[in-house]
Structure formats: C-alpha cells, structure tokens
Structure 1
C-alpha cells in the first residue's frame, strides 16, 4: 500500500494521511460591516466537502493578519479576537470529520487592494474599498498597479507583531497547523527577492538582510505557537528568471531557497510547502504535470527538511510515485480537489489503500 495512506507525524501532531488540501483563496468573506474577514457558509461547505472526501489536512486559505494584509476586501482575516468564533466553526467541523485543520497566515504587501480574481483582479481605489499598499521598496507589483509605500522599521516591527497576534488567535480557534505565506509574490517573498527588494538598510542587499524579515516573522510566530504543533512555511522556490537564459533580471533562485530552508529548519520550521513563481508577472514558467516536484525533492535532499509537493499533481499513481521516490513527504493539492472533492477516496479505490469514510458515506465505499 502506498505511503499516501499512512499517517504522518510532526511534533506531537498525527495527520491521518499524506493527501492534503492546499490553501486556495475563495474571495468570499463579507467585505464590510462587523463581520469583515469572517468565514462564511461557503467556507464550511467548501472545506467540509473535502474533509468528507478524505483529506488528511486542510489548510484554510491565506488569511490576512491585518486589514491591509489582505489581497482583496473579500479575503479572510484574523486581526481581532472578535473573529475567532467564526474560525472555530471551521475547525470544529473539520475535526469532527477526522481532518486536521490548518490555516495559512499572510500579508499581501504590494499585491493587496485588488478586486476578486474572477473579476480580473484589478487594483481597487479607496472609493471601492481599496487601501494604500506597502512593500519593502517603492516598486509596483506590475503594470497598472500602484506604487507601494516603502515600509519603515516601525512598520516592519508592527507587521511582525501582527503575525504573532494572528498565530495566537488561530491557536485559540482550534487550528493545529499554521503556515506562513512566504511565496507567490506576497510580502515575505517581496523582501526575499532582489527583484522587489531594493532596500539599502539592514532589510535589503545581502541574502542575510533580505531574509531578516522572514526569520523575524518565523521566530515571532514560533514563540507563541504551541510547541507541540507544527509550523509550515510556503515558499516560492524560484522567481523563474534564472531558468530563462534570455532573462537577465535578478531574482530569487532555487539555490537561495535551499539556503533559506536550512536556516528555517534551525528556527523551528517543520515543513516547507514548495511552490514557485508569483512575483514577476511576465516570468516564463515551464508548466507541466508535477513541474514543481523537483524543487521539493531538492529541498528535502539538500536541506534535510520535510516538504510537501504541489502543482499539477492530479493522478493517484503520480502522487504515490512522488512519495515512493522520496521526492516529498506529502502531497498538497489545489485545483484537482476543486474538481474532485473525494480525490483521496478515489485514490484509495485505485491503489488499494484505506481512507476514513464518514458513516453517512460508507454505503458508497464498500470494503
């Protein structure tokens, strides 16, 4: 039987299998009023279906640590204690279905203040609920996007504190895994990459300086997150600039990520969720089945840290082979779980494995 169906232990937490749901923004929180940033019935239905379908871990989508940390006015957020009960509805449901509840904490930086993705994701002005975006440097996310305000040291201190406060709240809400978004062009990634970070102070220039903000956030969260529970970090292994010999722009590389991974392990990070890209809009990305798996495999081998592979992993035998070949410790799926909420149960049938089935569904999965 494939290790896809085996439990996975991280610190004192046991995750029932290696088939996990990646965080995927739903842009469905209430945009205004006292319920701003709260999960809606949509989130319960969305995550509950995948939990009933056998996912061992579900990561709630990128959740803003402040109002300005959201990507859109419709994102989830957890910047006040009044928001905790709304998230307890999700953790209670997932736990009752035997799935480990996790959540991704994020700050959008210069990628914030935009419309919903399916409406084009264009920047929003204040008349449409938008806000002033920020970043490590005054460099826009892309053509047509506003120039962000460069963060001061005081601003940076405040955001580090917001990550820590959000981690305390998600622990109180019942989450068992917290993941920090340090990829896909969001704020932590913006500090990491020399493409977006042109600072000349102690947060820019050298590798050590550009990683300083990321490590401060990790340390602040690890200090308040329960010692027995795991801390994940989602990284973009590359900006996809150095892979293109015709592109002379400087960016974040796989070598940089290996180096960072070793440091993150020393700072108490338990697993890396390995993705790529998201910072440079016109980067040429070589997309194909499992195209990001080699990045995960290299981090696992060279940094000695557990990793989850993600990106166009769609078939049970493909996922099983990734684990069998020691390229990853777990599989994180996004779009495929949107298409097939019961993918883990389908995988069990295809590969002869065992996955927990809610009693209400057992008649559909005879053993």
Structure 2
C-alpha cells in the first residue's frame, strides 16, 4: 500500500497462472491416488518380469497377452458401469461360457454365421434383461440375483455340451473375431480398444453415464429429479449380458472350440480389475482407465508367473490374494469417504 497522494492504495499482485496450474495438478494427484498407485505397480511388475524371464517383454508375448486379455477388456467396460451403479454382476462368466458353447453348437449345426452370432447376443441380452428386471422392479439385491443366474446359466451351458468341448471349423468372418489379425495386431484387441473408448464416452460424456454415477452416489436424489432409475438399471444389466456373450464368442473363435467351463472364474478377474482400478464398490465413482489398467495388472501377473514356470495352483492363490487386497483397499478408500458423507 502507498500514501503518496494522501489516500490509501492497494497494490495489485501480479496474476500468476502457474499457481492455478499447480493447484489443479495437486487436486488431480489427490483425486487419482489409487489410479497412480496401480499404474506404478503395473510398471514395476513389468520391469520385474522383464528381468526375470527373457521371453516376457517380446513382441510375440505382448501380442499374445493382448489377444488373451481382449475378452476381459471388453467385459470390464460394462462391469465398470454396473459397479458404478452400486451393483454387481456375477453371471458374466457363466454367460460367457454359455455363449461359447452355444456358438459352437450352432455353427456345428450349419447355422449361418451372422444369424448364429446375432442369436447368441440375443440370448446373452435376455439373461441380462431378466437380471435387470428382477433387480430393478422386484428390488432383489444384485448379488443374490446374479449369483442365481451364474448357477442356472452354467447349468444350461453344461446341458447343451454334455460337459465336452465342441470344435468350431470354418474360415468365416466370425472366426476372425477371435483369431484374426490386422497389421499383426489381434482383431479382438482392436475391438476391445473400440469398446473401451465407447464405454469411456458413455460414462463421462453422456447423460446416461451421469445417471449411472448419480444412481450409485445417491439413488433417491436421482429418482426425485425425475429419472427412471429402473430403466437405467434394466438396460445396464441387459448390456452386461450381451457384452459377456460377445466376449464368449471371441474366446470360442480364438480357441476353435466352445466349452461350458471356459468362463469359470472369469467374473472374479473382471471384478478384481474394476475394484483395483479405482471404481468404488459402494457406487458413485467409476473410472474406465483404472479398470483397463486393472485388467493389464492381473494379466501381467498371470502371464509373468506362468513364464517363470510357477505352479498354476500358486498362481490361483495369488489371484485370490490380489482380489482380497483390492477389496480391502477399495473399502478403505471409498468406505471411509462414504461414512464422512
């Protein structure tokens, strides 16, 4: 302040844009601590496995890993949306198995590839629609509904296959979904990337995504705003079933056979990836990028340990430990915040 002319004047401090930039950076880091943490672990594990086995960080293994993880990357998109609504879908693995078995049966029966493809997607969507209806309109908890679906859908898959694998033969466009390549990149990986982008747009840039986040954060407030919550949930679970069926088709065409047990444990891997990535189990917070990183983290652990000739039983124990760790961390981060609110 100066008094040269007898009046008090306040000196204006120069505007410093870097202060705003610094504040935004600090805020972003604070809001994405779990995402940064899991990405750091992913990098560290990649470095560890690169030094542990020479066959890990090779073009062939990376492309193979992409192809293997494509179904997980596809289903993790819809699972992120489901969990963001404060729901869960335990039936995706069984739907995947049913779709894998069904596409094999239909192609073996000389169905046209296109009609077989559409029919399997409709079956998956129908299972998801039934789940969504019971959850939304009958108000039965998602865990119970989808657990029951997991059991009866798996039974259907066993029924149509008799417990055996069914070979798929042919060179139609359908076979290229799981086994084809485009410029050495697996077609399934390209499809997965496209679905991830679409899922990110839906979650962050559309009204539907806003409703999904709102339902998970405060369902009653969204209902009072005039949003048809039942319809939003219904469509979310319907898409969950359809996308799981699509992933089943991709696995069947990659392996060249359909099986009733190909999706065993699949839902746990996907849920673990979503939870590890930073989507709240309590709903209201969802991150598509985090879920994708979660898929790669779990996939790299499995791939790296396999290349190191670690026993598959040990790998299964580690998978269970990772899931437990993910739930504990997720509950710590988001459960504490929910109590505060």
Q: Same fold (TM over 0.5)?
A: no
TM-score normalised by structure 1 residue count? 0.26
Structure with more of its chain in helix, by fraction: 2
TM-score normalised by structure 2 residue count? 0.27
Mark the structure with the bigger radius of gyration: 2
Greater RCO, CA 8 A, separation 6+: 2
